[in-house]
Amino acid sequence: MHLTLLPLLSLTSTTIATISRFPNPIETDVIPLHTLPTIFPPPITADAVSVEAIRQTLALYPFAIDGKNFAALSQVFTSDAVANYSAPLNVLSPLSDIQKTLSASLACVTTQHLYGTQLIDIVSPFSAQSVTYFQAAHFGTGNLAKEVATAHGQYQDVWARQRDGTWRIVHRNLVYMSEVLGNPMVFVC
């Protein structure tokens, strides 16, 4: 019975407009931390199938990064995506630059990315926005094998539904919530 409800939920939820509380329907600027609780109150209607599809797609990101399978980021980002990773990486676009830069910047470390608090807002049948808290540990290698640098922050993502029905990130802001803690020398080979 569960399987027969999913197509019905998908059909029903795509015909009902979700009321978004974002200041603009799709926000690409950094969203200030103090506004998040008022931008993301509980939804009036939700497209549960799309929310879960986005959540599953987000889960691929740590697998790709931690597994150093940067080609797999094509299942997370559109080919023309823009990603503002803040300093020192800054704004990267298109996907090929995101892949090359992340590969090079993480070449000297192994990583573990963890997600925490997360909200996903389906703005329309074709667009969504999400905020996902993360903690990323960057473990040194060689002489720095016992050292770690840890980042705490948020991924603020804008999503677009693709022609095949999947969801991909079209714009990402990485917002640090503190300085990177630990030994930054782990990033130096």
Dihedral (Cα; 157, 161, 167, 173), 10-degree rounding: -10
Is residue 34 included in any domain, yes or no? Answer: no
Q: Tell me, what's the pLDDT at 42?
A: 66
What's the pLDDT tens digit per position in 131-154?
999 999 999 999 999 999 999 999
Q: Report the residue count for the chain.
A: 189
Cis peptide bond prior to 88, omega within 30° of 0 = yes
Is residue 14 included in any domain, yes or no? Answer: no
Q: Tell me, what's the pLDDT at 36?
A: 77
Is residue 132 included in any domain, yes or no? Answer: yes
Average pLDDT over residues 16-44: 65
CATH number of the domain within which 151 lies:
3.10.450.50
Mean pLDDT, rounded, of the chain:
87
What's the pLDDT tens digit per position in 39-63?
766 666 668 999 999 999 999 999 9
Is residue 173 included in any domain, yes or no? Answer: yes
pLDDT at 6 over 50: no
Is residue 27 included in any domain, yes or no? Answer: no
Q: Tell me, what's the pLDDT at 27?
A: 65
What distance in Å separates the CA atoms of residue 180 and residue 6, rounded to the nearest whole number? 42
Domain carrying residue 146: 46-187
Is residue 70 included in any domain, yes or no? Answer: yes
Average pLDDT over residues 10-33: 54
pTM of the model: 0.81
The answer to whether 131 and 40 have CB atoms below 8 angstroms apart is yes
Is residue 59 included in any domain, yes or no? Answer: yes
* 164 compared with 12, residue with greater pLDDT: 164
Number of domains present in the structure of the chain = 1
Q: Tell me, what's the pLDDT at 18?
A: 39
pLDDT category at 28 given cuts 50, 70, 90 is confident
pLDDT at 175 over 60: yes
Average pLDDT over residues 9-13: 38
Residues 6+ apart with CB under 8 A from 120: 51, 54, 55, 128, 129, 130
pLDDT at 123 over 80: yes
The answer to whether 116 and 10 have CB atoms below 8 angstroms apart is no
pLDDT category at 35 given cuts 50, 70, 90 is confident
Residues 6+ apart with CB under 8 A from 123: 18, 20, 22, 25, 26, 129
Is residue 15 included in any domain, yes or no? Answer: no
